[in-house]
Amino acid sequence: MTVSMRRRLKVFIFCSAVLGAVAVAGQNGDRIEFSAESTTTEFIEGGVIKRYSGDVAARSQDLLLRAEEAVYNSVRNEIRLYGDAMLQDSVRTLYADTLVYYDRRREALASGDVRGIEKARSFRAGQVRYLRDEHILHGSGGVTVRDDSIRSSLTGMALTFNDSTRNGWVVGMPSLVREDDDGSIITITAQDTIRIAREARTAELWNSVEVKKDSMTARSERALYEDIPEKVTLFGEPVIEYIMHGTGDEDDIPLRIVSEVTGDTVFVYLEERKLAAVEVAGNAVGTTVALDSTGAVYYRSVLESRSMRLDMTEDQVTGVVARGSARSYYMHAATISGREQFVNSAKGDTIRFFFDDGSITNMRIRGGSSGEASGKYLEYKPVRPDSVKSGEDEARR
């Protein structure tokens, strides 16, 4: 190797080392660029305090800070921003009255009317703590999160969101409001917590959960929403209440019809966020009461079984199956047109109801203490003292 070659090699090694060092220094984020209308610098024990005022901007890698005034403390390695403070990085933009940025641990504390904007999401909070290295955002003092991509808003007293896992928690009377494509609104509230797991595509809610959509209200102690399949599981004394308005089948009088389904656990199946089916496991009870304008019962039905499934299409019931020690009771009050009150009851292992245009057309009963049974759903009949028939009676006919 000649002297010239050695010299070139040394120059190359030196240049490579310098360029490498520059690249590493650039990645460390160990550099904050400031601009402002004015600055005052004061030397303190072990460092400086710099006060900036008027259109202050500070940049460090992908981070941009802006405010009317700012104070930089080199000992604490913090920047305090006052008045229309803003923090922007590649994930989100935060606006607040006051913002403190801790450069060493890459953490921001925003307070006073905090607003945040992300790609399709925006949020408000009284105070926000943003841990950039941990990719975690804590909001407190009353939070609202709006996600325009799914037309939803989430409110609560506090939230925690992880940018890496995209998981989130909202605590303190959380409430989720989501608007469907057809404009109908679903409202989900809980007393304690909503936990959203983005990867699992689930939302878990607990303590006094209430789900409201159109005329339906579901209540339970705990609920789990799974996006795939689109299902809501209600645990702990679940109740689904459905309120409809209709007219009497013969009299054409206005009726208020209240249906209620309860059991140990209730599964609500949705298709494109529309109610498709309800399944009840354990101590299933379904009741429907129709009241006229005076509050008098027009008809009442009670269905009890170990488990139950109710299928729906376009907000109309298309089929009901009650399995395991199933019992059905139906009472129709006397009508204005002269029909007398009648009662129809049945029991068996399985009772299946068939519907047409939302009305029961047929009922099949299978099994029972005396073997398999089936029967046809009874049309109106005058009530006779001895006319209460079981499924087995029907089967014998």
Residues in contact with other proteins by CB under 8 A are 28, 30-43, 46-48, 50, 52, 72, 74-75, 77, 103-104
Nearer to other proteins, 100 or 211 (CB): 100
What is the torsion angle, in degrees rounded to the nearest 10, for the CA atoms of residue 288, residue 292, residue 296 and residue 298? -50
Nearer to other proteins, 59 or 135 (CB): 59
Nearer to other proteins, 34 or 355 (CB): 34
Query: Residues of 283-313 as b/e, b for ≥16 C-beta within 10 angstroms?
Result: ebbbebbbbbeeeeebbbbbbbbbbbbbbbe
Backbone angles phi, psi at 236, to 5 degrees: 80, 90
Nearer to other proteins, 48 or 336 (CB): 48
Nearer to other proteins, 74 or 162 (CB): 74
Q: Taking Cα atoms as reference points, which of 101, 120, 121 lies closest to residue 111?
A: 101
Query: Least Å distance between CB 36 and other proteins?
Result: 6
State the DSSP code for 315.
T
Query: Least Å distance between CB 23 and other proteins?
Result: 16
Cα three-residue angle 363-367-369, rounded to 5 degrees = 125
Nearer to other proteins, 46 or 295 (CB): 46
Query: Least Å distance between CB 38 and other proteins?
Result: 4
Q: What is the DSSP string of 183-232?
A: S-EEEEE-SSEEEEETTTTEEEEEEEEEEEETTEEEEEEEEEEETTTTEE
State the DSSP code for 119.
S
Measure the CA–CA gap between 391 and 375, rounded to whole angstroms. Answer: 6
Query: Least Å distance between CB 84 and other proteins?
Result: 19
Query: Least Å distance between CB 164 and other proteins?
Result: 26
Nearer to other proteins, 42 or 386 (CB): 42
Cα three-residue angle 96-78-76, rounded to 5 degrees = 150
Backbone angles phi, psi at 46, to 5 degrees: 85, 10
Nearer to other proteins, 52 or 225 (CB): 52
Instruction: Show the tokens assigned to 151.
Output: 């037309």
In contact, 159 and 143? CB cutoff 8 Å: yes
In contact, 123 and 133? CB cutoff 8 Å: no
Query: Least Å distance between CB 73 and other proteins?
Result: 10
Query: Least Å distance between CB 70 and other proteins?
Result: 12
Nearer to other proteins, 15 or 75 (CB): 75
Query: Least Å distance between CB 32 and other proteins?
Result: 5
Query: Least Å distance between CB 59 and other proteins?
Result: 9
- Is the N-terminal amide bond of 229 cis, ω within 30° of 0? yes
113-121 long-range CB contacts below 8 Å, 24 or more apart?
A: 114/139, 116/92, 117/92, 117/93, 118/91, 118/92, 118/93, 120/147, 120/148, 120/149, 121/145, 121/146, 121/147, 121/148, 121/149
Determine the length of the chain: 397
Measure the CA–CA gap between 168 and 194, rounded to whole angstroms. Answer: 8
Query: Least Å distance between CB 44 and other proteins?
Result: 10
Nearer to other proteins, 75 or 200 (CB): 75
